[in-house]
Structure 1
Amino acid sequence: MSVIVRSFRRVSPLAVDLVIALVALAAHAAPFLLTTREADPAAGYTLGQYLPVLGLALPLIWRRRAPLAVLAAVTAATGAYLLNDPDTAPQPIPYALLIAIYTVAAYGSRRVRVWAVTLLVTGAGAQLAGLVLNPPSADTTVRALVMYVAAWAMGRATANRRTHARQIERDRQREAERAVERERTAIARDMHDLLGHAISLIVVQAEAGPLAVRPAPERAEAAFDAIAATGREAMDQLRRLLGLLGTSSPGAPPTVARIEALVHSVDRAGQRTTLTVHGTPRPLPADAEAAAYRIVQEALTNAVKHAQAVAVAVELHWRQDTLMIGITDDGRGHTGGSGHGLIGIRERAAACGGSAAFGPGPDGRGFAVTVHLTGTAS
């Protein structure tokens, strides 16, 4: 059935309207072909009696392009049919007029529909003469009114369905655009966290290395080793991030378990950094695992890049349904930068149903980042 519907939708609307016009022509011509003229059966019906039938059916070919004009033409042809010789073949159902009414209701604008109602009322008055010459029965009149109202109601229902379908499509398109924008923001945030952290450590080590070459060669060697390790780590994570965009990559995903290695890499780079864990670690949802890692990464990047801190402390507090992350430094507070990193921390926490707070460290010194990730119980 779905294949038939899709095939029907691919047919040209003009071809569909041509078929509808031919069907209406056949329906209106049937009484002439299946009955004989009462006054003179041998003579048959005249061309003048057939002409209103053509006027009823042929305008339907243009019904969607000019619904009001088609309705006017069909209404006039209906009036001509009723005003014709009383000996004309009886037509029990005004097929063409019903189709024209349905079309105006389905495809006409509000203004066109108002004009159509006016036209129908005026046309009904003009047709009274034909009704006087050939008065219908009460049930015929009621049946005709019911059919007209039903045709109009069906047309409006079609218009409403079409409007609803367009709205659904617009909503779907807007949601797709929002999803793309969210994905772009997430990728930009990951790139900022990943590259910002790595480059900050590399810069610190590159600046410290030459100073230690002569007085402490072992420190210079450690600095260059840290630069290489940081670069490799950044490349691994960058490959994984690009893998999310369509390329394959074996890089390990950011998780809470990798925060220890992250802290160690910063400490090895010369920024004294410690990690303290309270409570029993538990598995987290994948998005919370990544968020926790990236939050710590961004906070450490800020401490290294802007705070000029001597020491940084990272704490993980595992509670029944919450993971609290605290990063404090003894530097000069949050200075420099655009603040995008802190915005990213807050957005990552909110995406996992948590919250983030920033402010001075203990005794008003340094800077503290406190993050709560909720719903973490497994």
Structure 2
Amino acid sequence: MNVQEVRRRFPILDQEVNGHPLVYLDSAATSQKPQSVIDALDDYYRRYNSNVHRGVHTLGSLATDAYEGAREKARRFIGADSVEEIVFLRGTTTAINLVAQSYGRSNVGEGDEIVITPMEHHSNIIPWQQLAKATGAELKYIPLQPDGTLSMEDVEKTITDRTKIVSVMHVSNVLGTINPIREIADCAHKHGAVMVVDGAQSVPHMKVDVKELGADFFAFSGHKMCGPTGIGVLYGRKALLNGMEPVEFGGEMIDFVDLYDATWKELPWKFEGGTPLIAGAVGLGAAIDFLEEVGLDEIEQHEKKLADYAMEQLSKIDGVTVYGPEHRAGIVTFNADDVHPHDLATVLDSEGVAVRAGHHCAQPLMKWLDVTATARASFYLYNTEADVDAFVSSLHTAKEYFGDVFS
């Protein structure tokens, strides 16, 4: 992978921030967009902007072909069997909520169990909290190992014959932990539970095959994988989706409506009420094309090298604590002694370095780490070792700025 060539395809990276070249290390929050994605969105709005499925005119046909073509790209990208298993939604949060509200409300009852982990993003905690409260089910947590990983021994102790749903993130947005999804799914299936996977931090960075993972449901967002905001995918096994009821009702998702009843379209459209996310799907399709052109294996290896290099450099700075396992995805979360992450991120921003600071929508994990917040540098295909060097240099600047506070 020629990183410099990749960088030239991202126009936003060619700028200065606060008098310094931009070093963007916040891709776990949202990725930047290549020119090809920007062009695809522009082309849709300029040339064939129209609603889909309903019209027989030329623009409507072009828009429908692009929208459904993106669905086929998404199917292929994650290894699903059928486009009927690919539902376009606003993002990972909406997808998980759909599973909780539709599948969960119909299949979970009092005395049943829902199993998750303390490392989950809030979008993979709160829907299950609400389902447990509504149904009388018990919400259980697989404990974490000291380095922020999961042990299969703990997984097997936590999942029981009462467990109906197991929902785990593929990659932690804080620790960079890569969870053993296939092994967890096998354990869930052994006890008759379904496996839900939050793939927001994995799909952009590594090859994913939902069948190989054993996922019954799998959710991810376009904006973290070089696509636009407001578009995401829920994969669900066809047999499960067929048995689920929609949670949004209105136009587009109906088959027939009379005064007192209605019937729904077939999959996947029964879950896509209203005017769908047409431009978002077009942009997502272009992002998939781009990532496949670069190569997911190359992206994964590139990010791993950057994360390893960053951890090596951070280990040389006194007073910096890095959280998470040794083997991780391209995420490095850290704190500097007695300096609030927001203050640290502000100094780094003054040097043109963009990192995340806060609880990262993972407050239970912050509590487990015994901190209120952390700083996070996350890497993607357009980052370089020079970016890491600039990041480390800005930390030395912060160390000088805070003086004795930074041990």
Smaller-chain TM-score bracket? under 0.3
Which one scores higher on RCO, CA 8 angstroms, separation ≥ 6?
2
Bigger strand share: 2
Larger Rg: 1
Normalising to structure 1: TM-score of the pair?
0.22
Bigger helix share: 1
